[in-house]
Structure 1
Amino acid sequence: MVPSEERRRVLLGATPGTPNSSSGAMHTANFVIRVLKSWARLVATHHVCKLPPFIHRLQISGDSSIPPPLANCFTLVKMWSEHTQGSMGLVENTILLEIQRLLREYVSYNEADLLAALQSLLLLFTILLFGLNRTGSAIVQPVEAELIVKVWDVMSSVTGTGILLEEEQSHVLPTWREWALVSAKRRTIQALHHLEWAWSLVRGYPVLTCFELGPLPAPTAGYLWNENSELQWKQSYAKWLDIWKTGGSYKLGELFNIDPGDDLNSRTEMWLAEVDEFGMVLMAECELFDPDFLAKLI
């Protein structure tokens, strides 16, 4: 789930061009950016009481407290939400230092902290790239590209810890915690793909496709993600397995292949009926794509 070496060379070797001129593409990019920023604002406002839809409640409950990468991230997001014009430079530099620290230290993290680090990078990058509206920033586009490429290595490490359960492939009941963590990994990786896609458009870089994610399950039913107890989750998951017994779970590849001119098939309609706001964002992005622009994606 890591972009190709060609993509790496393009970002590190190319001079940014002008932002994409397609109104449909820029509308979609701005939509994605606004949603990403809203997740940072949600954390700043509600801390752990209301989490963005890529951090699962089981990551911050049970036997352990908030993973250190997320604890630090939440503090910095709060700082960002309260910054003034005079403190903007301090906020930017502090967030950049934390990003650089995570990119250095992630190799020593256990599985839970590694996921938390990637989730923190998503929130902090959103703020750094789109949340400060700062002219004369010390962060220039080549540096942004270098940092994004380094995040791929963290994403690769998270992928290496497993992003698909055997039980999911066999369409049987997994454990709640294992399912929650693997779902959070997939959602975080998908969200980072959206971040880079939008960044590429507005900065004038060739855009990133995410078709390699096609074989993975699409974001699952909101009622499964939001269940509060293991017993309730098991009961809901058993019903969900029965609903999706024909053909297995809905895959991202099915979503990517929707024809904007046709009615949705029954599997896509069922998936859309069940998803939470994270899935709705994916659906909206697909609906907003300019078909002529989409055909040119590399």
Structure 2
Amino acid sequence: MTEVCNSHIDSPQPRGDNAEPSTAQTVLPGDEFTIQSKTKTTKPASTVSETLSFDNLELRCPIIADDICNRWLNSYVPVPGQQIKQYPAAVTAYIYKILRSYATAAVRGRGVPPFIHHSQIMTSLVNPPLATCLTLVRMCEKLLPGSESVAADVLRREMTSIYQQRAAYDNMTLLAAYQSYLIYSMIFLFILRQNTNSFLRQALIELQDLAGLSSQHGIVCIAEQERARPRWEAWIVAEAKRRTLFTMYLFDSLLCAQDNLPTFLGTELRGLPAPANKRLWRAQTRSEWETAYNVHLADWVRGGFNIDELWPNPAPLDNTALLEKSDRVGQWLENIDEFGTMLYAVTSCTHGG
């Protein structure tokens, strides 16, 4: 990536921001997760989420999305360039507990997994697949004896419906459908204990297909690659897609480990940005996010931190290169959220570094 000049850092040009005031807190009937309504509020402006428009997003897919769709084949058909990764038993147990916490938090209505952005559950923006998901999964809390099969049938039908309609979804609805399908899959494994090879392996094939389709609609902002500041809406979508993708890869690795199948490094994701810092991800207003992104551009003049920088070195590095890599990892760790911390723990304990 080319370096950004000082004027680009001080006053980067957004790509068409149209902010409007919103919103007050409300709760869907039967649910406890917080969403946003379009009702006027007297809250301070700094805590008010703005009206967002997810039309005309300037995104691109710099990776081969079909490799995501076909990832499930790696365990059965050798592919040139595959790199096997061996999770230590403690790391597999750690991934299991972390992903299980995402499922249980959704089931208990205690928030959404860290791959869903808070703007996605605003009432004016929430897509039907995600709204349905966050409602349906609540029935899995405190299941009566013998009722697990009923809950499983309901979720299975919704997963089938999502997959059958995948070609008709627009970009945002496809993202919501993909995220919902991942949540359902995790609930089957961690809550309903439906760990049957036939169902979950088929679900993973369909999940990876949804992931590839969603990625084809764009998984990085064009402005990100040009070292400029993108529209907030475009960045939200790209970051949510990447976080969902990284979570799905961990889920895939966990299932492979449980089935005694080899797990492979996700080399098809090489070059994608690693999870963003918490100031960007948790920003509540456009101005707060733009300020944080300006700082991000200034901090990462030589290019942002990519996910493959957490992987083993592709070739031996000299001391200077090793020190530079260590410095970049350390800089990325300075302000990441719990999701980024989790990914670092997994990769560091698996690959070292």
Aligned partner of 2:311: which letter? F
Following superposition, the deviation at residue 81 of structure 1 comes to 2.1
Deviations 1:236-291 (Å, cap 9, x if unpaired)?
1101110111x2100111111369xx887111001011211111111010122177
Compared CA separation, residues 155 and 132, structure 1 to 2 (3 A): same
* Correspondence 1:287 to 2:342: no
* Correspondence 1:175 to 2:231: yes
Partner of 1:31 in structure 2? 94
* Correspondence 1:250 to 2:305: yes
Q: How many residues align?
A: 273
Partner of 1:19 in structure 2? none
Give distance in 1, aligned partners of 2:69 and 2:182: 22
Which one has the bigger helix percentage? 1
C-alpha contact 1:2 1:156 (8 A) present in aligned 2: yes
C-alpha contact 1:29 1:202 (8 A) present in aligned 2: no
Give distance in 2, aligned partners of 1:92 and 1:63: 29
Q: Which runs of 5+ in 1 are unaligned?
A: 14-21, 292-298
Greater Rg over alpha carbons, structure: 2
After TM superposition, the structure 1 = structure 2 runs for residues 1-298 of structure 1, keeping only pairs within 5 Å, are 1-3=65-67, 8-9=72-73, 25-46=88-109, 50-61=111-122, 63-64=124-125, 66-133=126-193, 140-245=196-301, 247-257=302-312, 265-289=326-350
Secondary structure of the residue that 2:218 maps to in structure 1? coil
Following superposition, the deviation at residue 72 of structure 1 comes to 1.3
Give distance in 1, aligned partners of 2:208 and 2:182: 11
Compared CA separation, residues 183 and 147, structure 1 to 2 (3 A): same
C-alpha contact 2:182 2:207 (8 A) present in aligned 1: no
Secondary structure of the residue that 1:205 maps to in structure 2? coil
Aligned partner of 1:132: which letter? L
Moved more, 221-230 or 32-41: 32-41
Following superposition, the deviation at residue 202 of structure 1 comes to 0.9
C-alpha contact 1:43 1:74 (8 A) present in aligned 2: yes
Compared CA separation, residues 179 and 12, structure 1 to 2 (3 A): same
Which one has the bigger strand percentage? 2
Moved more, 1-10 or 220-229: 1-10
Secondary structure of the residue that 2:263 maps to in structure 1? coil
TM-score when scaled to structure 2? 0.71
Compared CA separation, residues 185 and 7, structure 1 to 2 (3 A): closer
C-alpha contact 2:159 2:181 (8 A) present in aligned 1: yes
C-alpha contact 2:133 2:180 (8 A) present in aligned 1: yes
Give the percent of matched residue pairs that are identical in Structure 1 and Structure 2. Answer: 27
Give distance in 1, aligned partners of 2:200 and 2:142: 24
Q: Which runs of 5+ in 2 are unaligned?
A: 1-64, 78-85, 317-321
